[in-house]
A and B are shown apart, each in its own frame.
Chain A
Amino acid sequence: MTAGTKFALGAVLIVGSVGYLMASGIKQTGQYFLTPSELAQRVSADPSFYDLGLKVGARVVPGTVSKETATQTLRFNITDGTVNYPVIFKGLPPDTFTDSVEVVVEGRLQKDGVIHATNVLAKCGSRYEAVPKA
Chain B
Amino acid sequence: MSLLGHLSLWLAFLVGLWGAITGFVGGAQHRPDLQQSARNATFALFGALLVAVISLEIAIFRHDFSLQYVAGRTSRNLPTFYLWSALYSGQEGSLLFWAAVLSLFGALTQLFTSRRHRAYLPYVAAITSLVATFFVSVMLFAPANPFQRAAFTPLDGSGMNPQLQNPGMVFHPPMLYLGYISITIPFAFAMAALLTKKLDADWLVAVRKWTIVSWLFLSIGLLIGMWWAYVELGWGGYWAWDPVENAALLPWLVMTAFLHSVMVQEKRGMLKKWNLALVLGAWLLSIFGTFLTRSGVIASVHSFTQSPVGYFFLAFLVVAAIACAIVYIKRLPLLEAESTLESVVSREASFLFNNLLLIGLAFSVLWGTLYPIISEWVQGVKVTYGPPTFNFVNIPLGLVLLFLTGIGPLIAWRRASTTNLRRQFAVPVTVGVFMLLILLVAGMRELGALLAFSIGAFVFGTVFQEFARGARARHRQYGESTGFAVLQLLSRNRRRYGGYIVHIAIVLLFVGFAGMAFKTETEATLRPGESAELRGSDGHLYTFTHLGISQYNALNRQVTAALLDVRRDGKDIGRLRTEKRQHVDALGNPTFEPSTEVGIMSGLRVDLYVVLAGLVNGTEQAVFRFTINPLVWWVWFGGFVLVIGGLIVLWPGGVVVAVKGSKASPAQAGYAVKLEAER
A contact residues vs B (CB 8 Å cutoff) = 3-4, 6-7, 10-11, 14-15, 17-18, 21-22, 24-26, 28-34, 38, 55, 69-70, 72, 91-92, 95-98, 104, 123, 125-131, 133
Contacts and interface: CB of A to CB of B under 8 A. Distances in A.
A5 to B, nearest CB: 9
Contacts of B304: 126, 128-129
Nearest to B390: A25
B397 interface: yes
With a 10 A CB-CB cut-off, give which of B364, B525, B593, B594 has the most chain A CB atoms. Answer: B593
B418 to A, nearest CB: 16
A11 B381 contact: no
Given A10-B353, A92-B625, A129-B90, A26 B371 contact: yes
Contact of B384 (A33, A92, A96, A128): A33
Nearest to A5: B344
Given A3-B342, A129-B304, A95 B72 contact: no
B523 A91 contact: yes
A11 B353 CA distance: 7
A72 B591 CA distance: 25
Contacts of B163: 128
Contacts of A70: 525, 616, 621
Nearest to B158: A130
Contacts of A69: 525, 614-617, 623
Contacts of B368: 22
Contacts of A3: 340-344, 346, 349
Contacts, number: 143
Contact of B356 (A14, A30, A98): A14
Nearest to B361: A18
B452 to A, nearest CB: 17
A64 B234 CA distance: 26
Given A21-B393, A32-B382, A95 B594 contact: yes
B344 A22 contact: no
Interface string B323-336: 00000000000000
Contacts of A91: 523
A32 to B, nearest CB: 6
Interface string B596-610: 100000000000000
Contact of A127 (B161, B372, B392): B161
9 contacts: A3-B349, A15-B360, A30-B386, A72-B623, A95-B593, A123-B299, A127-B161, A129-B304, A130-B592
A125 B305 contact: yes
Given A21-B396, A25-B393, A32-B383, A129 B364 contact: no
A15 B596 CA distance: 43
Contact of A29 (B72, B161, B343, B386): B386
Contacts of B360: 14-15, 18
Interface string B565-596: 00000000000000000000000000111111
Contacts of B613: 72, 92
Nearest to B616: A69
B384 A30 contact: yes
Nearest to B622: A69
B72 A25 contact: no
B296 interface: yes
A72 B624 CA distance: 10
A129 B161 CA distance: 6
B501 interface: no
B72 A129 contact: yes
Given A70-B616, A130-B158, 12 more contacts: A11-B353, A15-B356, A18-B363, A22-B367, A25-B385, A26-B383, A28-B392, A69-B623, A70-B525, A92-B614, A128-B164, A129-B304
Nearest to B595: A95
B225 interface: no
B512 interface: no
A25 B388 CA distance: 8
A133 B623 CA distance: 31
Given A4-B341, A92-B611, A72 B305 contact: no
A46 B401 CA distance: 43
With a 10 A CB-CB cut-off, give which of B72, B340, B356, B625 has the most chain A CB atoms. Answer: B356
A21 B392 CA distance: 7
